[in-house]
């Protein structure tokens, strides 16, 4: 981890809602020895409530990193007991498997009890005053929290969300090129099974298989970038009008790592050279790098010259899974350019992205001690 510009004298007490799931497990490992946060509470459905965490995940721990011993001894709370779980916590991370309207209501209940929520869920991604943040791209959107707090009637409480995991393999690459005027993009994503919260033990029929559909994924992949590129106006985030993005999202037999094949066309007369694009990618950095946030990759985007890269096996853990990898940039016969992107879907694309967002919110004083 970096030596951050912003430091804390005492770690903030963090709760994890949905702690027994795959993203919840990733939160646990990322918060171990974190300089800003300590895991102070674990919550899940009523089925696990009252068990120790070790009992609740016995035979269900999905990561190749072992569960910390101190976490195994913690008692799991019922996530629906909002007042009981939020008491004594400075913030919560949320990654639950529930109906969208139920998630929206649950997260608002926590926020209204003055407990900030940093969410991996999609439920609030289009709530007008909830920031959907990729910290290197639209860190300024966290300013909308002031308007959200007025609506909720809170002093500390708010909800911030991260974007869909699929976006991380192409939006970071497109964003620095927006200054050239992107007209349209076509993206095909090849998404790992951990994005569905599963491994091959849970989902053996995915071995040697491809499924050409992931429910709701294409709409998210086409619309969420426009919200990230939007602007704040009258207490709401207004989506950008373009560029036009069309996607196909495909489930592939890979455990971790979303790959994207990307095709892009620029406005007439604004097409950059291949060398310019690579230079822009390699030099790009954002607020997390400026603040040296603990989880921020030193180099957000790497470009790999080898035609056989990026590869999941070699590149998914670039910058501890917080960086993104690009390769195979070349001119196209239909679009201006095409390239391939790769990101770690449960680090940068899920729990890690939420932790980095929480670090940003802490450094900007939106998360404070109770």
Number of alpha carbons in the 13 Å side-chain half-sphere of residue 214: 26
What are 119's two structure tokens?
Answer: 């969410």
To which residue do tokens 């860190």 refer? 139
Q: What is the pLDDT averaged over residues 151-175? A: 98
Our answer to whether residue 115 is catalytic in this structure is no
Which member of 34, 124, 175, 258 is catalytic?
258
Res. 144 pLDDT band, cuts 50 70 90: very high
Q: How far is CA 194 from CA 22, 32, 252, 309, in A?
A: 8, 21, 10, 21
Burial of 165 from C-beta contacts in 10 A (0-12 / 13-18 / 19+): buried
pTM: 0.97
Q: Which member of 94, 115, 165, 249 is catalytic?
A: 165
Residue 2 is predicted with a pLDDT of 83
Query: Distance between CA 197 and CA 97 in Å, rounded?
Result: 10
3-state secondary structure 30-68: HHCCCCCEEEEEEEECCCCCCCEHHHHCCCCCCCCCCCC
d(CA 155, CA 306): 51
pLDDT over threshold 90, residue 73: yes
> Domains plus CATH for the chain?
12-164+351-363 (3.40.50.720), 166-344 (3.30.360.10)
Q: Is the pLDDT of residue 26 over 90?
A: yes
Please check the confidence at residue 4 and state whether its pLDDT lies above 90. no
For 260-277, how does the pLDDT look when each residue is reduced to its tens digit (9 = 90+)? 999 999 999 999 999 999
- Token pair of 331 as six digits: 């001119």
Write down the pLDDT at residue 5.
Answer: 84
In the predicted structure, residue 6 carries a pLDDT above the cut 90: no
What confidence tier does 41 reach under pLDDT thresholds 50, 70, 90? very high
What pLDDT, on a 0 to 100 scale, did the predictor assign at position 1? 81
pLDDT at 222 over 90: yes
Omega of the bond leading into 310 within 30 degrees of 0 (cis) = yes
Average pLDDT, integer, range 169-198: 98
Helix (H, G, I), strand (E, B) or coil at 241: coil
pLDDT greater at residue 185 or residue 2? 185
Task: Tell me the C-alpha distance between 185 and 165, whole Å.
Answer: 18
């Amino acid at each position: 981890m970096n030596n951050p510009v912003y430091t804390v004298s005492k770690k903030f007490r963090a709760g994890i809602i949905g702690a027994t799931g795959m993203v919840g497990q990733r939160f646990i490992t990322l918060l171990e020895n974190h300089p800003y946060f300590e895991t102070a509470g674990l919550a899940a459905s009523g089925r696990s409530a009252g068990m120790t965490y070790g009992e609740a995940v016995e035979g269900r721990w999905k990561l190749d990193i072992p569960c910390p011993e101190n976490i195994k001894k913690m008692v799991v709370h019922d996530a629906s007991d909002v007042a009981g779980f939020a008491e004594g916590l400075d913030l919560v991370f949320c990654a639950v498997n529930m109906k969208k309207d139920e998630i929206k209501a649950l997260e608002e209940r926590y926020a209204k009890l003055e407990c900030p929520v940093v969410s991996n869920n999609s439920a609030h991604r289009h709530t007008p005053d909830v920031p959907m943040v990729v910290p290197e791209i639209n860190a300024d959107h966290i300013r909308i929290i002031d308007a959200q707090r007025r609506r909720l009637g809170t002093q500390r409480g708010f909800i911030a969300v991260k974007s869909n995991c699929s976006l991380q393999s192409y939006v970071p690459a497109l964003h620095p090129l927006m200054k050239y005027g992107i007209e349209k993009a076509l993206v095909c994503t090849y998404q790992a099974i951990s994005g569905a919260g599963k491994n091959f033990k849970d989902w053996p029929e995915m071995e040697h298989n491809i499924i050409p559909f992931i429910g709701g994924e294409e709409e998210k992949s086409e619309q969420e970038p426009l919200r990230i590129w939007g602007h704040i106006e009258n207490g709401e985030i207004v989506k950008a009008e373009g560029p036009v993005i069309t996607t196909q999202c495909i489930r592939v037999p890979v455990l971790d790592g979303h790959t994207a094949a990307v095709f892009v066309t620029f406005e007439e007369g604004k097409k950059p050279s291949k060398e310019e694009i690579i230079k822009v990618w390699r030099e790009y950095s954002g607020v997390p790098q400026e603040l040296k946030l603990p989880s921020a990759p030193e180099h957000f985007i790497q470009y790999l010259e080898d035609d056989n890269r990026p590869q999941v096996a070699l590149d998914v853990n670039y910058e501890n899974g917080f960086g993104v990898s690009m390769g195979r940039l070349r001119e196209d016969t239909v679009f201006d350019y095409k390239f391939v992107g790769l990101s770690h879907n449960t680090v940068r694309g899920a729990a890690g992205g939420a932790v980095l967002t929480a670090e940003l919110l802490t450094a900007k004083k939106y998360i404070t001690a109770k």
